[in-house]
Chain A
Amino acid sequence: MTRDLALLARYAEGLFWMARYVERAENMARLVDVTQTFESPGREAESWFALIRINADETGFAKRGLAPTADAVKRFYLLDRDNPTSVPASLEAARTNARTLRPLISTEMWTQLNIFHRDMMAIDEAELQGDLLSRLCARIKEGVQAHTGITEGTFFRDQGWLFYQLGRLIERADQTTRLLDIRYHLLVPTGSGEELRVAELTQWGGVLRAAAGYHAFRRVARPGFTPSDVVSFLLTDAHFPRSVALCIEQIEWILGRLRSRWGLRGTVSALERVEELRAGLMGRPVDSIIADGLHYFLDGVQRDLILLAGEIGTAFFRDWRPLAEGAQVQTQG
């Protein structure tokens, strides 16, 4: 005998946020990795401070009275548990959510996250230096990928799975915009003509590698591609797992599925947001987006994603604490 399972609103919210925090940790590792790649000799501090800017962490960083050095930024994101955007803080939040979800998630998911969390709480100062940093980033990415694989292979596919996916996809789309934005904050290479073109493409190649999209891009790119092709790929490609457009398409499918298979009403406002996001992305050529200012466009996408998360929260999560600080959804985006 089986039956259709209801899902506690609190569990749905926990799954959504667990997925977001885990995804966030992976993307932070990707950002750190690419930043190290871009480090310009003699101007390391500027390269690293770009990370603070694309995460909009200027205030949190300044509050600690830290000088904007490479070391301070690395510590801020890899060691500082009190910084809510750090890797340890993301893992702490993911594990806390997982703890509330233990009745629901698989034992293997919980065990891996528990061990991964312990590892991330014990990152050593020495690991931030030299070649060890890249290894650390690889370990973080692998930890998240192990989580993802275990989840894919063991987590029950009822509506909980859909809420988990929603969280991951919204976070991933957001992080891809931040990864793209890094180029805005970086130093523009000097030189001219062919030399400049190559230098620029090297930087974009780094962004693609950080997004794990370098080889996929080479497959689809036309000969003699330009930077705007890279931007177009990360924003609008229909097949690349980290492209914003693909994330949006999957989000739309999931919202539809919640409605058609699980009978959840309240997806309408969220679907309207999705529609707006897509129109903004696909409605005009990437060259025109770049001409108007990529940074401002990405800011807009990030704001829309926050609104989308807010609509999902209002429709499905807020109910379990009606005295709501339903605020969590608004502020933690």
Chain B
Amino acid sequence: MQQDVPDPFAGYRPGPYFCELTTDRPGDAGAAATVRARIGAIGLEALRARAAAAEHDLINLGITFTVYSDATAIDRILPFDCIPRILTAAEWRVLEAGVKQRVAALNLFLHDIYHDRRIVRESVIPAELVFGNPNYRPEMEQFPVRFGTYVHICGTDIVRDREGRFLVLEDNARTPSGVSYVVENRHLMSRTFPDLMAGMRLRPVDDYGRNLLSAMAEIAPEGVDDPQVVLLSPGIYNSAYFEHVFLAREMGVPLVEGADLFVERDKVWMRTTGGRQPVHTIYRRIADEFLDPTVFRPDSLLGVPGLIGAWRRGNVALANAVGTGVADDKAVYAYMPRIIRFYLDEDPILSNVETHICREQAGLAFTLDNMAELVVKPVGESGGYGITIGPRATSEQLEHARAALLADPSNWISQPVVSLSVAPTLTDDGIRPRHLDLRPYAVTGRSTWVLPGGLSRVALKEGSLVVNSSQGGGSKDTWVLADDAMAGEVLR
């Protein structure tokens, strides 16, 4: 309808990578082409203006995270790219089943290592990887959790290779963040680009809070009728504070800080204007070691003295359970395919990225021989820190990585460079391919529910593979097409 607007996709070249919007794939019923055409009709200039307005909205709404560097704190938005990422109904079925399978295996694994230790006794995984792991918590041994659920909230980082295969890069079984952006991105998208999704049926993302609250109520101590759920946050100075607010609001529960709670006779109470009120389930966004200064770090002011005692007496539920960090360790990750087969007697629905374990002689030798082709990662870090990407490293950086690796081999794993898929992204140079990943969120109480889609994080720098928000990543709205996604289109 606007012939004078040049096609913004004219200069778009995804190269050898799988493109989430332009690579043909079955089952999208023309949704991707429709979106491309609609973006074309909007035109680059209008697209930019609307994208700027959308980011301005995020600042006004205070949908920000805090970056700390050099003792200064800056509120930043997670940059939002307005071109959506589309998953077909069939793709999502695979992802959903794969994530559920993985969460089931993680929970069975955690139950086992804190009880019978069958998997170690049968030598599927080395004992030292489990019991020597800094995130292994002896406090958890022989301690029952309801429904055997340890990982109530799980974020699974998934990438896509050149062939379009989904591969799991990492499990986040402690306190995965980012789900608030999934929901807020959708709201932003429907406000700013209602014309892009008009007539398309997408799986909704608004149901996260209700499902989360149901799971939190399910895991409350037995015999409690109307459990009081709270979200425990380190407070306004935490970089993820906005997300804590979001989750508390979506669940309709108080956001508490450590000082709001106290423990008396092994029961947890919160301080209200009317005196104390009992607390039954705590969705905690505080790491294990800060939860209870009488058990873990004595200098922690964020936690609640006596909390672990109350938990062990069965008077309060914690989500996620203590000690889940042993399962999302990068070294344990390498064993996940075997862990899935061991407990479920099934093949993994989602494959791992091929991983070499440097604590094992073969893995170390292979890594040292092929450093220039491999991604070398420390096992204990998060946020994308400490990673060396072989093909992009200078010889000096490679030498540095080699030295670090040799100094402590068991701290490292290596993986081949995965050619992460790309998606069209609005840049200063026009619409260009940028690499991205996907983090679906699974909520587990009695059973597991997966939020359709998840967070698509995009590396905004040209060629970059690092999608982390602390290192220049942004995000996209992730559309999961309903089975009859384009039915509305036909009628128009």
Q: How far is the CA of A114 from the CA of B235 in the complex (A)?
A: 18
Q: Mark A73-106, 1 if CB is under 8 A from B, else 0.
A: 0000000000000000000000010011011000
Complex Cα distance, B260 from A109, in Å, reads: 24
Give Cα distance in the complex from A67 to B255, angstroms: 47
A contact patch SS: helix
A264 at the interface (CB under 8 A from B): yes
Q: How far is the CA of A11 from the CA of B254 in the complex (A)?
A: 9
Contact of A8 among B235, B249, B256 (CB under 8 A): B256
The reply to whether A114 and B259 contact each other, CB–CB distance below 8 Å, is no
The reply to whether A12 and B245 contact each other, CB–CB distance below 8 Å, is no
Neighbour of A111 across the interface among B61, B235, B256, B272, CB < 8 A: B61
How many angstroms between the C-alpha atoms of A7 and B257 in the bound complex?
Answer: 14
Residues of B within 8 A of A3 (CB): 226
- Residue-by-residue, is B51-83 near A (CB-CB < 8 Å gives 1, otherwise 0)? 000000000111000000000000000000000
Chain B contacts for A63, CB-based, 8 A: none
Question: How far does the alpha carbon of A159 sit from the alpha carbon of B256 in the complex, in Å?
Answer: 18
User: Are A159 and B62 in contact (CB-based, < 8 A)?
Assistant: no
Residues of chain B within 8 A (CB-CB) of A9 are: 260, 271-273
Point out the residues of chain B lying under 8 angstroms from A11, CB to CB.
Answer: 254
Give chain A nearest CB distance to B323 CB in angstroms.
28
Chain B residues within 8 Å of A12, by CB: 273
Number of interface residues of B (CB under 8 A): 24
Chain A residues in 8 Å Cβ range of B235:
100
Q: Return chain A residues, CB-CB under 8 Å to B277.
A: 6
Closest to B262 in A: A322
In the complex, are the beta carbons of B274 and A263 less than 8 A apart?
yes
**CB <8 Å contact, A264 and B236:** no
User: Which residues does chain B contribute within 8 Å of A115, judged by CB atoms?
Assistant: 60
Contact with A along B310-350 (1 / 0, CB 8 A): 00000000000000000000000000000000000000000
Report Cα–Cα, A122/B242, bound state, in Å: 24
Among B62, B231, B236, B259, contact of A320 (Cβ-Cβ < 8 Å) = B259
B270 on the A face (CB < 8 A)? yes
Contact A96 B236 (CB under 8 A): yes
Whether the Cβ atoms of A320 and B274 lie closer than 8 Å is no
Q: Is A284 an interface residue (CB 8 A)?
A: no
Kindly list chain B residues whose C-beta atoms are within 8 Å of the C-beta of A321: 259
Q: With contacts defined as CB atoms under 8 Å apart, how many contacts are there between chain A and chain B in the complex?
A: 68
Q: Which residues of B contact A (CB under 8 A)?
A: 60-62, 226, 231, 235-236, 241-242, 245, 248-249, 254-257, 259-260, 270-274, 277
Q: Tell me the smallest distance from the CB of B254 to a CB of chain A, in Å.
A: 6
Which of A103, A258, A262, A263 contacts B245, CB < 8 Å? Answer: A103
Pairwise interchain contact A102-B245, C-beta atoms closer than 8 A: yes
Residues on the A chain within 8 Å of B273, using CB: 6-9, 12, 159, 163, 258, 262, 264, 316
Q: What is the distance, in angstroms, from A3's C-beta to the closest C-beta of chain B? A: 7
A213-269 at interface with B (beta carbon < 8 Å): 258, 262-264
Complex contact A111–B62 (CB within 8 A): yes
On whether A8 and B60 interact (CB within 8 A), knowing A99-B236, A103-B248, A321-B259, the answer reads no
Bound complex: CA of A11 vs CA of B236, how far in Å?
13
For residue A287, CB closer than 8 A to chain B, the reply is no
| 19 pairs from A and B in contact (CB 8 Å cutoff) | A6-B270, A6-B273, A8-B270, A8-B271, A8-B272, A11-B254, A99-B62, A99-B236, A103-B248, A103-B249, A111-B61, A159-B273, A262-B274, A263-B274, A264-B273, A264-B274, A319-B271, A320-B259, A320-B271
Chain B, residue nearest A9 (CB): B271
- From 299 to 333 in chain A, residues with beta carbon under 8 angstroms from any chain B beta carbon are 316, 319-321
Q: Is there an interface contact between B271 and A111, defined as CB atoms closer than 8 Å?
A: no
Query: Which of B241, B249, B260, B274 has the most chain A CB within a 10 Å cutoff?
Result: B274
Residues of B within 8 A of A159 (CB): 273
Give B123 Cβ to nearest chain A Cβ, in Å: 48
Q: Which 7 A-B pairs have the closest CB atoms?
A: A103-B255, A6-B272, A103-B248, A102-B245, A320-B271, A316-B273, A6-B277
A96 to B235, CA, bound (A): 11
Chain A residues with CB below 8 A from B226, complex form: 3
Bound state CA distance, A98 and B259, in angstroms? 18
